[in-house]
Each structure stands twice: as C-alpha cells, then as structure tokens.
C-alpha cells in the first residue's frame, strides 16, 4: 500500500517524528498500547497531511521484493507490502521525501541486506514491538548485515535491529554523508552494530559480538546506552582522521576493551 501526495511534506515529517517519539516513550510503560497509538495517529496523518513523496505501509513481515519497482505501488508479489518491497520503490524513485511505516511486529530477512540508495524515513512502532532481523532458523543460514546505506538523508526510528552478521558490520553500514539518523532503536546480537557517520539518540546498542559502533565521520551519541559489546563500545575506525564526535548523556558499561 502506498499513498502519494504532491505537496510539501515537511509538516508531515515533523508531526510523524513527534508521534513516533511519544509512542516509543510510552511503549516502555504500555507496550502494545503505544504501538496502537502510533498506528492510529499515523493513519490520521496520512489522511490529513500532505507529503512530498510516497508513504509505504509495511503490512507483510516476509522478505519478498517488488517485482516491478518504480511503479509507485509497494507489492511483494503476493498482495502485501514488505519492507524490502517498500525500499525497492524508494530506490527506484530516487527523489527522496518518502516514508516507510512498519506496522508488523517483525520483519525477517532471508535474501540479504537491505540496500538504501535514496533518502527515506523508516519508522517502526517502537523497539519493544517492532523488530527487523536476519533469519537464523534452520539449515544453512546466509550471513549478511541488516541495512546498507549509500544515500544521505536516511532516518530510522522505533525498531529493534538484530542478528545481522558480516565481517565488516552486521547492523547498519553507512557509506553516505551527511550522517544517518538513528532514533529510539535497539541494536543487538549483531557483529558490529554501526559503522560510518551517525547521529544516534535514545538508542541502546548492546550484546553485539564485536563493537558497538565504528565511527568514520561527523557523529553524535545522545542519551544512548552502549553496553556488553564483546570488543569496543565506540571507537574511530581511522584514528588519524579529523572527526567531530559528540557524546551527551550516554552510559557505557561492560564493553570488552574500550568504552
């Protein structure tokens, strides 16, 4: 499902971000009630507020891609909208301003990393009620990371990202500038959780089998918990580079070597 409007979407973006922030905070106390709040409120916004790009509602938890990317319709080939199919549409459009709202409790990936090549905002109902993960069940399980970002202007909020496995980074690999924005997420049980330039807030990075974050660009951590990562909590992957790195209100604990 997608909803297209042709007017400026900045007001929608601000309102949607505000609702996501409130719902995520409430989810810590009310769990699925907050997810329902997000779904209802975002549905009202889809009706009332114009957007500059498309809005894709992820209603299928499988991993089917879009057989006809670029037609403006998110379709996983079975009548539903998967996260991969929504990203296929965003990439094919390439114009930016698109929104993806994940309204299923879990997205399980079977077919490799999700590559993002155009600006997009991806929103889940909160990390307690929305997970994006690599399949780890049964047989020979391919190893791959969860997100691979090659475009600036990407924002991800309100999801748990888990089980990504790659020699370089298992959670989110960002090759783009400006920094990717991560808000109100949990990244866990990956190899390294993050690599690249990121502005991360209200996020927990924990129990990853390598490092919490390898930073290579202008980055910030605000009100985050970085804990129990096997190797480093956070470090610069190229210490010789001049990087502006801001840390505000974060907790570092029980990481293997560095904070």
Give the helix/strand (H/E) hosting 91. Answer: helix 83-93
The whole-angstrom separation of Cα 252 and Cα 226 is 5
The residue assigned the tokens 């319709």 is 73
Stretch 34-58: mean pLDDT, rounded?
60
Predicted confidence at residue 9, as pLDDT, reads 40
Short-list 190, 195, 196, CA closest to 208: 190
Predicted confidence at residue 243, as pLDDT, reads 63
> Peptide bond before 178: cis, by omega within 30 degrees of 0?
yes
Band of residue 52 on the pLDDT scale cut at 50, 70, 90: low
Stretch 152-175: mean pLDDT, rounded?
96
Short-list 232, 157, 167, 238, CA closest to 197: 238
Q: Which residues sit opposite 102 in a β-bridge?
A: 58
Do residues 228 and 209 make contact, with C-beta atoms less than 8 angstroms apart? Answer: no
Predicted confidence at residue 241, as pLDDT, reads 56
Between the alpha carbon of residue 80 and those of residues 22, 61, 86, 194, 217, the distances in Å are 28, 9, 10, 30, 37
How do 172-174 and 154-157 pair as beta strands?
unpaired
């Amino acid at each position: 499902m997608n909803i297209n409007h042709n007017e400026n979407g900045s007001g929608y973006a601000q309102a949607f971000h505000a609702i996501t922030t409130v719902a995520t905070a409430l989810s810590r106390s009310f769990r699925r009630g907050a997810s329902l709040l997000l779904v209802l409120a975002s549905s009202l916004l889809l009706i009332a507020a114009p957007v500059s790009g498309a809005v894709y509602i992820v209603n299928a938890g499988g991993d089917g891609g879009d057989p006809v990317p670029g037609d403006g319709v998110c379709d996983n080939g079975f009548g539903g909208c998967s996260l991969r199919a929504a990203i296929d549409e965003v990439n094919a459009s390439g114009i930016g301003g698109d929104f993806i709202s994940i309204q299923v409790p879990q997205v399980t990936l079977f077919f490799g990393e999700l590559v993002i090549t155009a600006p997009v905002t991806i929103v889940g109902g909160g990390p307690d009620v929305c997970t994006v993960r690599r399949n780890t069940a049964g047989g020979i399980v391919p190893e791959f990371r969860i997100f691979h970002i090659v475009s600036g202007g990407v924002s991800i909020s309100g999801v748990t990202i888990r089980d990504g496995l790659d020699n370089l980074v298992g959670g989110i690999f960002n090759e783009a500038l400006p920094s990717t924005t991560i808000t109100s997420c949990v990244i866990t049980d990956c190899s390294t959780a993050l690599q690249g330039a990121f502005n991360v807030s209200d996020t927990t990075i924990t129990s990853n089998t390598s490092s919490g974050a390898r930073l290579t660009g202008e980055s910030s951590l605000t009100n985050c918990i970085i804990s129990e990562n096997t190797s480093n909590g956070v470090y610069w992957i190229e210490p010789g580079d001049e990087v502006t790195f801001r840390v505000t209100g974060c907790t570092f604990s029980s990481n293997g070597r560095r904070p």
